[in-house]
């Protein structure tokens, strides 16, 4: 059974177990999926309302993009576990095995692949949620704020799964390229998510 097909209770029990997967990568993908789903919810509560007729077309386009991102992020829940499997196996290779370094290097790069995809996808999600917050129903704007913060947290969590693996890479050029992209995405999109949150909070409390 795929992880995303488990109940919430079963999934969180596995997260809390000693099993190596699911772990932080899968959890961050799920958090991102929940975040963009909240953005989509804002769209659902906006369409068909006369008050928002002038943005109906924009909202429907955003909803279509949001739904595609939700599917992609859910795929990463299992995808992260699959990407981590070679690394878990590589750690079991005796340290005096002459082929260990090459296997480890390849496995470390593979283990970074899905967390990096989570970062990129959540960045796109934050852009979309920002538009939902700006154009969507004022009655649901708090959900856009929640979604932005969840996607921000998902990015931060996914980045840790990148950095812990780049630290062990012998190919420092590859490691630094991955870290540079992660750093740039975090710098841009944690700030954007914070701006969305602050805007939503100000609107609610003013």
Using pLDDT thresholds of 50, 70 and 90, give the confidence band for residue 165: very high
User: Considering the domain boundaries, does residue 138 fall inside one?
Assistant: yes
Q: Domain containing 27: what range?
A: 22-205
Question: Is the sign of the CA dihedral 3, 7, 14, 123 positive or negative?
Answer: positive
User: Considering the domain boundaries, does residue 67 fall inside one?
Assistant: yes
User: Considering the domain boundaries, does residue 8 fall inside one?
Assistant: no
User: Considering the domain boundaries, does residue 131 fall inside one?
Assistant: yes
pLDDT tens for each residue of 107-139: 999 999 999 999 999 999 999 999 999 999 999
Planar angle of CA 153, 154, 156, nearest 5 degrees: 65
Planar angle of CA 9, 11, 15, nearest 5 degrees: 115
Q: Could you give the CA distance from residue 66 to residue 70 in angstroms, rounded to a whole number?
A: 6
Domain of residue 132, CATH code: 1.20.120.680
Q: What does each C-alpha distance from 89 to 71, 104, 170 come to in angstroms?
A: 28, 9, 18
- Please check the confidence at residue 16 and state whether its pLDDT lies above 90: yes
User: Considering the domain boundaries, does residue 4 fall inside one?
Assistant: no
**Total number of domains in the chain:** 1
User: Is residue 13 packed enough to be buried (19+ CB in 10 Å), middle (13-18) or exposed (0-12)?
Assistant: exposed
pLDDT of residue 183: 98
Q: Could you give the CA distance from residue 3 to residue 65 in angstroms, rounded to a whole number?
A: 24
User: Considering the domain boundaries, does residue 125 fall inside one?
Assistant: yes
Model's pTM, two decimal places?
0.94
User: Is residue 205 packed enough to be buried (19+ CB in 10 Å), middle (13-18) or exposed (0-12)?
Assistant: exposed
- Tell me whether the omega of the peptide bond preceding residue 82 falls within 30 degrees of 0, making it cis: no
pLDDT tens for each residue of 33-71: 999 999 999 999 999 999 999 999 999 999 999 999 999
Q: Could you give the CA distance from residue 172 to residue 55 in angstroms, rounded to a whole number?
A: 48
- Please check the confidence at residue 19 and state whether its pLDDT lies above 90: no
User: Considering the domain boundaries, does residue 9 fall inside one?
Assistant: no
User: Considering the domain boundaries, does residue 54 fall inside one?
Assistant: yes
- Please check the confidence at residue 90 and state whether its pLDDT lies above 90: no
Please state the rounded mean pLDDT for residues 78-89. Answer: 92
């Amino acid at each position: 059974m795929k992880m995303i097909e488990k109940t919430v209770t079963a999934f969180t029990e596995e997260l809390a177990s000693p099993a190596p997967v699911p772990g932080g990568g899968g959890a961050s993908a799920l958090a991102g999926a929940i975040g963009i789903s909240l953005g989509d919810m804002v769209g659902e509560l906006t369409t068909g309302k006369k008050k928002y007729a002038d943005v109906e077309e924009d909202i429907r386009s955003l909803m279509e993009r949001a739904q595609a991102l939700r599917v992609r992020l859910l795929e990463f829940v299992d995808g992260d576990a699959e990407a981590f499997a070679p690394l878990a196996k590589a750690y079991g290779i005796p340290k005096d095995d002459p082929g260990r370094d090459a296997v480890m290097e390849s496995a470390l790069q593979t283990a970074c692949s899905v967390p990096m995809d989570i970062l990129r996808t959540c960045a796109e999600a934050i852009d979309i949620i920002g538009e939902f917050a700006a154009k969507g129903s004022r009655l649901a704007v708090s959900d856009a704020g929640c979604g932005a913060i969840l996607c921000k947290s998902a990015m931060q969590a996914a980045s840790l799964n990148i950095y812990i693996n780049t630290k062990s890479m012998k190919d420092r050029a590859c490691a630094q390229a991955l870290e540079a992209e992660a750093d740039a995405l975090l710098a841009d999109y944690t700030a954007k998510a914070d701006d969305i949150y602050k805007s939503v909070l100000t609107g609610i409390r003013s």
